[in-house]
Structure 1
Amino acid sequence: MLRFPSIKNLTYGVEQVVRRFPLVVVAAAFKAVMLYILIESPPVPNPPPLYLKTTLVLFLALPLFLSLHLVAERRKWSLGVLAAGVLGVVALLVLYYFTISPSPIQRDYYRFGMFLVCAHLLVSFAPFVGYDEPNGFWQFNKTMLLQFLTATLYAGTLYIGIIIAVETVRFLFDVTYSTRIELDLFVLIGGFFHTLFFLNGFPAQLDLLEAQKSYSRGVKLFTQYVLLPLEVVYLLILYVYTAKILIQWQLPEGGVAYLVMAFSVAGIFALLLLYPIRDSAEERWIRLYSQRFYLALFPLIVLLGVAIFRRIGEYGVTENRYLVAALAVWLTGVTLYFLISKKDDIRWIPLSLCVASFLLAVGPWSIFAYSRQNQAERFGSLLREYKLLDNSGKIASADTLPREDYERLVSGIRYFRDRNEINTLTPFFSALPDTKNQQEVATQMEYQLNKAVNVKELQLGNSGRVDYAISGNTDMFGVNIRGFDYMISFNLYSDASREDEAGKWKLTASDRGSKLVLSDINNEEIAAWDMAARFTEIEKQYGMSTFLVDSKFLTFDRPGMRLKLEKFSRSGGYYSYQGVLLMKER
């Protein structure tokens, strides 16, 4: 007979989790509160940085405090030593808080992701540092994985059940909720209760795990008959591709680097699942497969290196390329270790990855500092190579420039634009707009660059991408709405649509985005704009590339309404645009 846990048992389980991991529970609760505030706060142009930055810090606090609790429990720390450890972790989190930009940009989120990976990897091995217990380490991580999957199942089932109840009440009783209840429940269940479910199943005595010999037959069958055959299939595909590029004597595509990395990680994960039975007399094939797997990796590692360094040679170092190159070096080291070492200590895998994640995120050697330096040097080097600079170091007129190198220069401008670091290139340009708007400054840079050079084979036709931005202030939050009653902001691409909050009107980008249609709640057309025709008009006036465009080209006036675009682009015959629609009461 199925027995559900009683309230008493649930209360006892929560109490045990709070007693054992108090800091983790507190961090999870505050994280849920911060996420709730972010969800329910009205959108504003410049939101206060406190909430978002604090949320990022709390995401890191959870695994760090969990590692601290586990180490303190394993080593039986005194209250004083634990307090010192807590102060150390808090100091690191406060330091991290002040390194985040007031308005977090791509670099901040990238660094946060690397720190998050580092912190979670720390949980996997921290309690076993200084203890020669590889089997205990494996059993601990197996328990964590199964507990995470179980907690996800419980939390997911609970969330779906409550959402069905919420929507049923909405449908039957015509109830309107004043909050974004679906997201609020997701934060509460996924951000807080999931943590409690997860922590409730942690093994209490880590020192006893080394002697534990249990191994799930289901894990063995899944790995042996599902994961490993798939690995063999992908290995054959990658080897056939390697043979193809050798026969054709061409460099591999840059994207193959990610395929090799995915294959390698999946293969190592499969071998980790089989670790406890690798020396079993009945399972000698595992040891043989392990050696053959790492030997088979070497040609693919070479392929990986050639692919990523080809991309670096063409377009310079970016964060992604630096990271993949670093992972290729790490993969080479791991492969050599398991081929040469007589003691296959699997703890080195998360330990080395944790250290690498941290080192690549900080310092002058970090993926951010080095890629920024490399892109700036490449940009300046290309300008000097084609003698594009005058005596004052500014871009001036020059002879014809190959299209490939022109695209490298444009790529450099967009690299710094996307990272809010466009000021890095300002010494090379003159008469730039006095604004903090990165898009506007970058657009003017591309305009000056295009005017200064003649580019071979620049025409891209319908298969290329062209972006336009209105001149002057492109801040859509500063749109003058005098004389209008409604404003609908939109960011549309091919065949997408956008409804206003009241549900009265809908904007649709139809026919691959070449036509923008305004319709009412009954889908009856109110107005339509021929975006393709306007794009052609802009093209004739400004040519191909990214320019500051006079606002008249991106403003459409109709009786009782005004369409004002901020960005307008075409890629492969598909159009996309963003802006606002102003309307009077009809």
Structure 2
Amino acid sequence: MQFNNLFTHRKIGIIFNSCKRFPITIILSILSTLLNISLVTQEIDNEIFTRLAPILFIGIIFSLAIHLSLEHSFKKYSLVITAFTSILFILINYYIFNINENFSYYLKNAQLFAGISLFLTFAPFLNSKDNNSFNNYNQIIIKRLCISIFYSAVIFLGTFLAVKLISYLFEFRSHFTSDAHKYLFFISFNLIQVFLFLSGIPKKVDLHHKVMNITFSLKTITYNILVPLTLLYIFIMYIYTGKIIFTWTLPKGYVGWTLSCLNLLGLICILILHAKKRDEKPKWVHFFEKYYFILNIPLLGVLFVGVLTRINTYGMTESRYLLLIGCLWVTFISIYFILTQSKQLKIIPTSLSVLLLFTIFGPWSAYNVSLNSQLRIFKEIAGQSGFLVERQLHKPEMNLTSDERNKIRSVLAYIIDYHGMESLRGTINDEQLELALKDKKNRAYYFIKKYGLSEEKSK
């Protein structure tokens, strides 16, 4: 029935009203779609547009979040302020984000996307402490997101197959038919999905009296699968913690990420369970709600030990930095929910969003701290081996062990892969660095092969 009614007059009217309500978001969505289509079909090949594409896409979410945060408190000027702040957001990030093929560039964009997306979850509730309205609003947002993705996927697949069928049956060949999947993908997921998503965002954020029960299937999954699994994982980690204490060994390398995923699963369960606050629940669910954060504290101690030990041994990297920040954040959330009576749910996305956005830029950012740490380690180990002497690279005179070569190789490869050759300027002689920059294919391996650090040499 939903498919039959999708394009009725009423539905079209709702979509039209959403265009009037969110014109800045719609304009950015159209611009983003046109830009992405032009880039993937190679109609334009310009560094300016390539840098602009991901920022413009994130700007769609940013403009929506800003508009929702101002819609009721600054109704008269909300569109003007949204337009101004969105343009400012795009320009600032355009000049800060230097495009390159390094992993840190993509990680920064992903972190910015996550931070702004979290901002969307609490934007209308900056001055509200209503947990029910916050919870109900986010249920609507998640539902609209799932519906819009599903409809967009159906539209994309349907139109793509139609174009291919026409091309096959009538032997019709053109530039459009050959690149149809590229055009249709961005039209479906970058434009139509935005229209469908916006059409379902509620105008009223005071949803306290609008009781929105989560679906029976989600309730069943949470009560009988997610909560028991989370408790099982906690039990396993407690046994592992006992083993660590008994054998006096350090946690394994992936324990940090395992505990991070466990905490994420636990917080998702807490948010879902709050929507069923008045319902009758099994005993294990009551136990989980009451003791989850208390049970989490000792496991956070294991996480801290594992992360700090590896930082002390191998230096800081982006993943270790984010893991450490995440650990501090979960500790803060756990203490907050243990000690406070109000238990404002919006503190979860609000604090995480602020943390993600705060650690993208500046000397304290994950990227600057990690680069400085690895450069310090590189100077230290390369200097001790004779590989780097007064900014000049040399073939090491002493016979290096395999472990020493591997350490120099891994640190050098990390710096170049994550931060680019230019990050070594000031550490390595400019003349040697310029020669390496010309050899774009080998990248880090230019230094490794040229100065006798390859694996063959260590044998």
Whether these two folds match at TM > 0.5 is: yes
| Deviation of the 1:102 alpha carbon | 4.8
Say whether residues 1:55 and 2:53 are aligned partners: yes
CA 398–247 in structure 1, closer or farther in 2 if over 3 Å, else same:
farther
RMSD between aligned residues: 2.8
User: Which residue in the other structure is 1:494 paired with?
Assistant: none
Matches within 5 A, 1:198-209: 198-207=197-206, 209=207
- Residues in 2 aligned to 1:434 and 1:73: alpha-carbon distance in whole angstroms: 53
- Residues in 2 aligned to 1:190 and 1:55: alpha-carbon distance in whole angstroms: 15
User: Which residue in the other structure is 2:32 paired with?
Assistant: 31
Matches within 5 A, 1:41-52: 41=42, 47-52=45-50
- Residues in 2 aligned to 1:390 and 1:167: alpha-carbon distance in whole angstroms: 62
Deviations 1:79-114 (A, max 9, x none): 3x6423431331121111112225464332221111
- Residues in 2 aligned to 1:40 and 1:370: alpha-carbon distance in whole angstroms: 38
Which structure carries more helix by proportion? 2
Q: What letter corresponds to residue 443 of structure 1 in structure 2?
A: Y
Instruction: Tell me the secondary structure at the aligned position of residue 77 of structure 1.
Output: coil
What stretches of structure 1 of length at least 5 have no aligned partner?
452-457, 459-465, 467-538, 546-586
Q: What letter corresponds to residue 111 of structure 1 in structure 2?
A: K
| Deviation of the 1:192 alpha carbon | 0.7
- Residues in 2 aligned to 1:311 and 1:176: alpha-carbon distance in whole angstroms: 57
User: Which residue in the other structure is 1:442 paired with?
Assistant: 444
| Deviation of the 1:174 alpha carbon | 3.6
Point out the more displaced range, 104-113 or 88-97: 104-113
User: Which residue in the other structure is 1:432 paired with?
Assistant: 432
User: Which residue in the other structure is 1:356 paired with?
Assistant: 355
| Deviation of the 1:329 alpha carbon | 1.0
Which structure carries more strand by proportion? 1
Q: What is the count of residue pairs matched by the alignment? A: 452
Q: What letter corresponds to residue 108 of structure 2 in structure 1?
A: R
Say whether residues 1:162 and 2:159 are aligned partners: yes
User: Which residue in the other structure is 2:187 paired with?
Assistant: 188
- Residues in 2 aligned to 1:426 and 1:6: alpha-carbon distance in whole angstroms: 61
- Residues in 2 aligned to 1:189 and 1:408: alpha-carbon distance in whole angstroms: 47
User: Which residue in the other structure is 1:100 paired with?
Assistant: 97
Identity %: 21
Q: What letter corresponds to residue 413 of structure 1 in structure 2?
A: L
User: Which residue in the other structure is 2:420 paired with?
Assistant: 420
- Residues in 1 aligned to 2:336 and 2:180: alpha-carbon distance in whole angstroms: 51
Matches within 5 A, 1:503-514: none
CA contact (8 A) 2:402 2:458 kept: no
Matches within 5 A, 1:511-522: none
- Residues in 1 aligned to 2:154 and 2:69: alpha-carbon distance in whole angstroms: 33
User: Which residue in the other structure is 2:369 paired with?
Assistant: 370
Say whether residues 1:14 and 2:15 are aligned partners: yes
User: Which residue in the other structure is 1:213 paired with?
Assistant: 211
CA contact (8 A) 1:413 1:442 kept: yes
Deviations 1:539-571 (A, max 9, x none): 6xxx459xxxxxxxxxxxxxxxxxxxxxxxxxx
| Deviation of the 1:168 alpha carbon | 2.8
CA contact (8 A) 1:388 1:395 kept: yes
- Residues in 2 aligned to 1:186 and 1:389: alpha-carbon distance in whole angstroms: 49
- Residues in 2 aligned to 1:384 and 1:226: alpha-carbon distance in whole angstroms: 54
- Residues in 1 aligned to 2:286 and 2:409: alpha-carbon distance in whole angstroms: 51
Greater RCO (Cα-Cα under 8 Å, separation 6 or more): 2
- Residues in 2 aligned to 1:430 and 1:34: alpha-carbon distance in whole angstroms: 37
User: Which residue in the other structure is 1:556 paired with?
Assistant: none
For residue 173 of structure 1, the aligned residue among 155, 170, 175 is 170
Matches within 5 A, 1:278-357: 278=277, 286-357=285-356
CA 430–147 in structure 1, closer or farther in 2 if over 3 Å, else same:
closer
Deviations 1:167-200 (A, max 9, x none): 3334433443423111211111111101111111
Instruction: Tell me the secondary structure at the aligned position of residue 450 of structure 1.
Output: coil
CA 5–125 in structure 1, closer or farther in 2 if over 3 Å, else same:
closer
CA contact (8 A) 2:316 2:374 kept: yes
Q: What letter corresponds to residue 288 of structure 1 in structure 2?
A: F
CA contact (8 A) 1:57 1:97 kept: yes
Matches within 5 A, 1:465-480: none
- Residues in 1 aligned to 2:389 and 2:107: alpha-carbon distance in whole angstroms: 37
User: Which residue in the other structure is 1:571 paired with?
Assistant: none
| Deviation of the 1:285 alpha carbon | 5.8
Q: Indicate the structure (1 or 2) with the bigger Cα radius of gyration.
A: 1
CA 443–244 in structure 1, closer or farther in 2 if over 3 Å, else same:
same
What stretches of structure 2 of length at least 5 have no aligned partner?
none
User: Which residue in the other structure is 1:40 paired with?
Assistant: 41
| Deviation of the 1:161 alpha carbon | 2.1
Q: What letter corresponds to residue 374 of structure 2 in structure 1?
A: Q
User: Which residue in the other structure is 1:578 paired with?
Assistant: none
- Residues in 1 aligned to 2:327 and 2:186: alpha-carbon distance in whole angstroms: 36
Matches within 5 A, 1:127-142: 127-142=124-139
Q: What letter corresponds to residue 21 of structure 1 in structure 2?
A: F
